[in-house]
Amino acid sequence: MRPEHEAPGAGPFLPWGHPLEKRLPGRPEGTDVMPVAIITGASKGLGRALGAALAGRGWDLVLDARTAAALDASGRDLAGRGVRVEAVAGDVTQAGHRADLVAAAHKLGGLDLLVNNASALGAEPLVRLEELTLDGLRQALETNVVAALGLIQEALPLLRASGAGTVVDVSSDAAVEAYETWGGYGASKAALDHLSAVLAAEEPGIRVWAVDPGDMRTDLYEAAVPDDDASGRPAPETVVPAFLRLLDERPASGRYSAPSLLDGPASLDGPSSLDVR
């Protein structure tokens, strides 16, 4: 990964939510606007937990999920914390829905953070590769890679204009480890990791982080391995501080793991300063 670069004209970054961070780089003088994030898969699990943490810091949010009722409930909860929330239900694999998400961010004043969190397993429960249908593999790739890139493409003009634009692609340890039955899902996340690395090389003015959140107790995991007792796995809220650390310290683009961020060195010099696998 190339060395860290700042966007042209951007000065030192304050942590988002810092009381002095009232006008964002790239926004007109005299405007008081808080940063704006798009989070996909935001009705539950990690997406909702991250949305709650950002709302607590004053971020305005565009939330996505396929299930309208669950998304609306999440949106109402976060809006009750004093921030503006646009809850846009739909399927990220649809180009029109991706355009609606970016339009909603533009309505809120711009876009500073895109979190590609929505994921598909390809089979529920997971199966060995000899049993994985090609349609299932296509579904995982379409949601986890193609839709993620489509949303990035749609959002890039706003992210570039931000002056502090950031993309977070939620990865998995299955992208780098060979776990039985996780082949299709892991392949899609490995592709997402490489897409993130190339995007970082092509767009040095924005941060691009692929983040492995580690083990979590989520509906996705329970759908993947329903016979496994997930009760001892950490709740998604416990890994959110790792994502917030990235936003606060803004290290170089690269691949990071939440456990390493939570237990790692006092300062981040980029992915090489951590065990990022």
Could you state, in order of their start, the residue ranges of all structural domains in the chain? Answer: 36-273
CB 137 within 8 A of CB 189: no
The string of pLDDT tens digits covering residues 48-102 is 999 999 999 999 999 999 999 999 999 999 999 999 999 999 999 999 999 999 9
Q: Kindly list the catalytic residues.
A: 185
CA dist list (Å): 104 to 65, 109, 211, 237, 274: 14, 9, 25, 26, 36
Higher pLDDT, 12 or 171: 171
Which amino acid type is present at position 23? R
Query: From CA 230, how far away is CA 69, in angstroms rounded?
Result: 25
CB 162 within 8 A of CB 23: no
> Quick one: pLDDT at residue 30?
43
CA 20 to chain centre: 25
Query: From CA 78, how far away is CA 223, in angstroms rounded?
Result: 26
| Domain 36-273: assigned CATH number | 3.40.50.720
Residue 95 half-sphere exposure toward CB, CA atoms < 13 A: 1
Residues shown for the chain: 277
Q: Give the tokens for residue 77.
A: 């909860």
Angle in degrees, CA 219, 224, 228, rounded to 5: 85
Query: From CA 73, how far away is CA 55, in angstroms rounded?
Result: 15
Specify the range with the lowest mean pLDDT, choosing from 117-131, 188-202, 262-276.
Answer: 262-276
Mean pLDDT of 247-256: 97
> Residue 14 — pLDDT band, cuts 50, 70, 90?
very low
The string of pLDDT tens digits covering residues 97-117 is 999 999 999 999 999 999 999
**For residue 67, which of 89, 98, 44, 88 has the smallest C-alpha distance?**
89
Would you say residue 20 has pLDDT above 80? no
**For residue 70, which of 57, 89, 54 has the smallest C-alpha distance?**
89
pTM greater than 0.85? yes
In Å, the largest CA–CA distance within the chain is 60
Q: Give the tokens for residue 73.
A: 């409930």
**For residue 172, which of 277, 244, 92, 39 has the smallest C-alpha distance?**
277
> Quick one: pLDDT at residue 267?
72
